[in-house]
């Protein structure tokens, strides 16, 4: 390409009125070795762009549904917590009731046992009379 | 849509997404993350992908928005300071090195452009989209695109000329 044609294209390029094809022409011109000396100053612009096209995204694409999992994990955690509080409360209530019942049963048993004890005491006293009877009987036998 | 089908749709333009992300975010790692993120978003919408008439343009718009959001967030601001992909060149007088240096210089100049000009320049000069496609991606009028593109190209020319006349930046 002649340098005067390049100059015209450059003028259009800086006015942003070049077409994509014309811009490609400019890039090809500036990527070659023999660039007219007075145009050399523009070369880095076009070389830079040519280099910039070469950049690639090299990282592996990962489409793990990680994010979704986390979302559902929180839902599950909340559900578990709610169930825990609901049924946990129930459980604690049941425990308390059981304990109360146990205390009540203990008191009742104690009452019953003390009743038994007093009655037994009375019984023992009565048995003491029997002993008296036995002694009297022995005395009678001894007199004979 | 299955994963393999989706990949077939996405493969032709994933590099373009990456290059656009890198143009805006500068750092390679950030750009890779952004590309991955955009593709994941696209994948999560894969039921409705058939309804978009231009998936590529849609993905480019998504990338643009995602990157601009990243730039706005403080997190990205911190990262921006950490990453610099420039290479310091010594005082080698070899012409080849100098040419390479000039190319790196162009990258620096582009990094200093306003975001809209960066976007337009990237989409036109690197990805070779026509003005209608760019208009669809950036929601801009063709005349506005032309103006932005012309300004971007002229700025690069002027700054390059400055560099050449002063020798160093």
DSSP letter for each residue of chain A: --HHHHHHHHHHHHTT---HHHHHHHHHHHHSS---GGGGGGHHHHHHHHHHTT----SPP---THHHHHHHHHHHHHHHHHHHHHHHHHHHHHHHHHHHHHHHHHHHHHHHHHHHHHHHHHHHHHHHHHHHHHHHHHHHHHH-
| In a domain? residue A39 | yes
Choose from A52, A53, A54 for mutation: most chain B CBs within 10 A: A52
- Rounded-to-integer distance, Cα A124 and Cα A120, Å: 6
Query: What is the distance in angstroms between the Cα of A8 and the nearest Cα belonging to chain B?
Result: 15
| In a domain? residue A47 | yes
> Which chain A residues in 110-139 lie under 8 Å from chain B, judged by CB atoms?
none
Closest CA in chain A for residue B121: A49
- Rounded-to-integer distance, Cα A69 and Cα B98, Å: 52
| In a domain? residue A15 | yes
| pLDDT for residue A40 | 86
| pLDDT for residue B169 | 44
| In a domain? residue A17 | yes
> All domains of chain B, ordered by start, with CATH?
1-85 (1.10.1740.10), 87-169 (1.10.10.10)
- Rounded-to-integer distance, Cα A54 and Cα B127, Å: 11
> Which chain A residues in 50-109 lie under 8 Å from chain B, judged by CB atoms?
51-53, 55-57, 59, 61-63, 67
Total domains present in chain A:
1
Does B19 contact A63 at a Cβ distance shorter than 8 Å? no
| In a domain? residue A82 | no
| In a domain? residue A140 | no
The complex's ipTM works out to 0.79
Instruction: From first to last of the 144 residues of chain A, give the pLDDT tens digit.
Output: 788 899 999 999 999 999 999 999 999 999 888 888 888 888 889 999 998 999 898 888 776 655 556 778 889 999 999 998 888 888 889 999 999 999 999 999 999 999 999 999 888 888 888 888 888 888 888 887
Note down the domain range covering A42. 3-52
Give every CB contact of residue A45 below 8 A, 6+ residues apart in sequence.
Answer: A30, B106, B153, B156, B157, B160
Does B157 contact A44 at a Cβ distance shorter than 8 Å? no
Does A23 contact B128 at a Cβ distance shorter than 8 Å? yes
| In a domain? residue A44 | yes
Site of tokens 């004979």: A144
Neighboring chain A residues of B160 at a CB cutoff of 8 Å: 41-42, 44-45
> pLDDT tens digits for B57-93?
999 999 999 999 988 885 555 555 544 555 554 444 5
Sign for the pseudo-dihedral over CA of B53, B57, B60, B64: negative
| In a domain? residue A14 | yes
More confident: B101 or B155: B155
Neighboring chain A residues of B107 at a CB cutoff of 8 Å: 48
CB atoms within 10 A of CB B3: 11
- Rounded-to-integer distance, Cα A137 and Cα B98, Å: 142
Whether A6 contacts B142, CB under 8 Å:
no
Does B3 contact A43 at a Cβ distance shorter than 8 Å? no
- Rounded-to-integer distance, Cα A47 and Cα A41, Å: 11
Average pLDDT over residues B142-158: 95
Residue B19, pLDDT above cutoff 70 = yes
């Amino acid at each position: 390409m002649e340098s005067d044609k390049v100059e015209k294209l450059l003028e259009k390029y800086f006015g942003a009125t070049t077409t994509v094809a014309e811009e490609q022409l400019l890039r090809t011109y500036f990527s070659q070795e023999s660039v007219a000396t007075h145009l050399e100053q523009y070369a880095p612009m076009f070389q830079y762009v040519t280099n910039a096209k070469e950049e690639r995204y090299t990282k592996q694409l990962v489409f793990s549904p990680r994010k979704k999992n986390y979302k559902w994990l929180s839902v599950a955690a909340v559900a578990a917590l709610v169930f825990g509080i609901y049924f946990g409360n129930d459980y604690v209530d049941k425990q308390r009731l059981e304990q109360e019942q146990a205390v009540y049963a203990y008191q009742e048993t104690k009452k019953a046992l003390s009743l038994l004890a007093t009655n037994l005491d009375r019984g023992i006293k009565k048995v003491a009379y029997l002993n008296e009877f036995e002694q009297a009987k022995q005395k009678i036998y001894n007199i004979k | 849509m299955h994963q393999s089908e989706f990949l077939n749709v996405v493969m032709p333009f994933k590099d373009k997404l990456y290059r656009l992300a890198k143009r805006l975010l500068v750092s390679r790692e950030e750009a890779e993350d952004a590309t991955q993120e955009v593709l994941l978003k696209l994948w999560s919408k894969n039921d409705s992908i058939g309804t978009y008439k231009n998936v590529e343009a849609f993905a480019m718009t998504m990338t643009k928005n995602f990157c601009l959001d990243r730039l706005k967030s403080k997190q990205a601001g911190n990262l921006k300071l950490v990453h610099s992909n420039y290479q310091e060149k010594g005082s080698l007088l070899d012409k080849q090195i100098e040419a390479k240096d000039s190319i790196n210089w162009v990258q620096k100049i582009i990094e200093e452009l306003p975001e809209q000009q960066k976007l337009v320049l990237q989409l036109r000069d690197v990805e070779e989209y026509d003005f209608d496609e760019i208009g669809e991606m950036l929601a801009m009028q063709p005349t506005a695109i032309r103006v932005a593109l012309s300004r971007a190209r002229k700025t690069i020319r002027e700054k390059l000329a400055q560099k050449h006349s002063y020798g160093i930046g």
